[in-house]
């Protein structure tokens, strides 16, 4: 890809992130019944940056298929970012990953306290479903979005991955359990984001299948890149604690297979992600670029 495309892609990602953040800000502003401290805590973590990649995927795919970004897509993008944010808040808790730094700021339980962090996480998760149910006029579409988001985020998806991740800290993981963790903890949510976008874009069955697969491969690649960055990056670049995996003796792709082999696997996944897009025309170039960008990202 040309350097111009690279510049354009980065601008587009920022525009999409802005759309998602604006949608989240509007939602929080309109939810006047939220208990004040809870609202403050939710906004602290929800509106404090973040790459919004999952939300951007929803928007890109809807735009690709429908030629525009609909209110439904914005709502779905906001919903998946709420779910992603809740997962970070709970994951950072002392009983979980025990992290002090997130998105360049103190984690929620450090800024407030543990009880507030638990409840703010619960609130974000529940609000995501409330928004899908109340903001999307077409019931058929709305209930499909709820089903997809709940499935990828729930105990057969992201929460399963988090549970396996916690267990892996207690005993050395092998490559199979590592794949299980990446698949569930990370890739399911990327696949969910792609599916939400596809549903908002009225995708045909075959397109839906391909795009869900695209998200899955992209998510696997993203997580390996994350593990590599934990070894190679700085806290300043990442906005969260790095070097933690090694300090905690945590099994990762780099620790299990080495950096070179990990990069090879990530490249293979990038190619598989590109393959899922073979039936799409140049409108999918942004998605293609996103797949290749996974390995180049610095944070």
Residue 208 in the binding site for a copy of itself (CB under 8 A) = no
State both tokens at 242.
Answer: 């790095």
How many whole angstroms separate alpha carbon 128 and alpha carbon 85? 11
Smallest distance, a copy of itself to C-beta of residue 164, A: 6
Figure out which of the listed residues 6, 114, 202, 237 binds a copy of itself, where binding follows CB under 8 A: 114
Residue 37 in the binding site for a copy of itself (CB under 8 A): yes
Binding part of the chain for a copy of itself, among 16-24, 56-64, 125-133, 278-286 by CB under 8 A, reads 125-133
> Segment contacting a copy of itself (CB under 8 A): 5-13, 57-65, 112-120, 213-221?
112-120
Quick check: 90 binds a copy of itself (CB under 8 A)?
yes
Q: Cα 156 vs. chain centroid, distance in angstroms?
A: 17
Task: Decide: is 26 part of the binding site for a copy of itself (CB under 8 A).
Answer: no
By CB under 8 A, what part of segment 158-187 binds a copy of itself? 159-164, 166-167, 184
* DSSP class of 20: H
Assess 146 for contact with a copy of itself (CB under 8 A).
yes
Radius of gyration of the chain (CA): 18
Question: In this structure, how many other beta carbons lie within 10 angstroms of the beta carbon of residue 215?
Answer: 30
Piece of 14-22, 46-54, 109-117, 250-258 that binds a copy of itself (CB under 8 A): 109-117
Told to check if 42 binds a copy of itself by CB under 8 A, we report yes
Burial of 297 by CB count in 10 Å (0-12 exposed, 13-18 middle, 19+ buried)?
Answer: middle
Name the DSSP class of 169: H
Taking CB under 8 A as the rule, does residue 133 contact a copy of itself? Answer: yes
- Residues 62/197, Cβ–Cβ less than 8 Å: yes
Q: How far apart are the C-alpha atoms of 47 and 54, rounded to whole Å?
A: 15
Give strand ranges (E) for 36-126.
101-102, 105-106
Q: What are the distances in angstroms from CA 252 to CA 91, 97, 244? A: 17, 15, 11
Residues lying near a copy of itself in the complex (CB under 8 A):
31, 33-35, 37-39, 42, 86, 90, 93, 95-96, 113-116, 118-119, 121-127, 129-130, 132-134, 139-140, 142-144, 146-147, 149-151, 153-156, 159-164, 166-167, 184
């Amino acid at each position: 890809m040309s350097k111009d495309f690279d510049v354009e892609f980065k601008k587009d990602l920022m525009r999409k992130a802005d759309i998602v953040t604006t949608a989240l800000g509007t939602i929080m502003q309109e939810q006047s019944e939220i208990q004040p401290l809870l609202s403050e805590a939710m906004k602290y973590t929800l509106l404090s940056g973040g790459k919004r990649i999952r939300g951007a995927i929803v928007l890109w795919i809807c735009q690709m298929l429908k030629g525009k970004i609909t209110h439904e897509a914005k709502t779905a993008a906001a919903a998946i970012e709420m779910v992603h944010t809740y997962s970070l808040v709970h994951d950072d808790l002392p009983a979980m990953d025990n992290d002090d730094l997130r998105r360049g700021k103190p984690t929620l339980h450090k800024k407030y306290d543990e009880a507030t962090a638990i409840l703010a996480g619960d609130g974000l998760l529940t609000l995501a479903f409330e928004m899908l149910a109340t903001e999307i006029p077409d019931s058929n579409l709305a209930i499909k979005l709820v089903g997809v988001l709940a499935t990828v985020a729930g105990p057969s998806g992201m929460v399963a991955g988090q549970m396996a991740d916690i267990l892996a800290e207690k005993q050395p993981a092998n490559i199979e359990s590592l794949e299980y963790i990446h698949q569930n903890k990370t890739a399911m949510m990327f696949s969910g984001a792609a599916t939400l976008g596809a549903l908002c874009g009225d995708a045909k069955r075959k397109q839906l299948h391909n795009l869900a697969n695209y998200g899955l491969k992209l998510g696997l690649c993203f997580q390996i890149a994350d593990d590599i960055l934990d070894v190679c990056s700085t806290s300043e670049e990442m906005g969260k604690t790095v070097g933690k995996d090694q300090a905690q003796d945590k099994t990762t792709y780099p620790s299990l297979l080495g950096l070179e082999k990990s990069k090879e696997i990530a490249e293979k996944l990038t190619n598989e992600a590109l393959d899922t897009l073979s039936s799409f025309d140049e409108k999918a170039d942004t998605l293609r670029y996103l797949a290749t960008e996974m390995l180049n990202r610095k944070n």
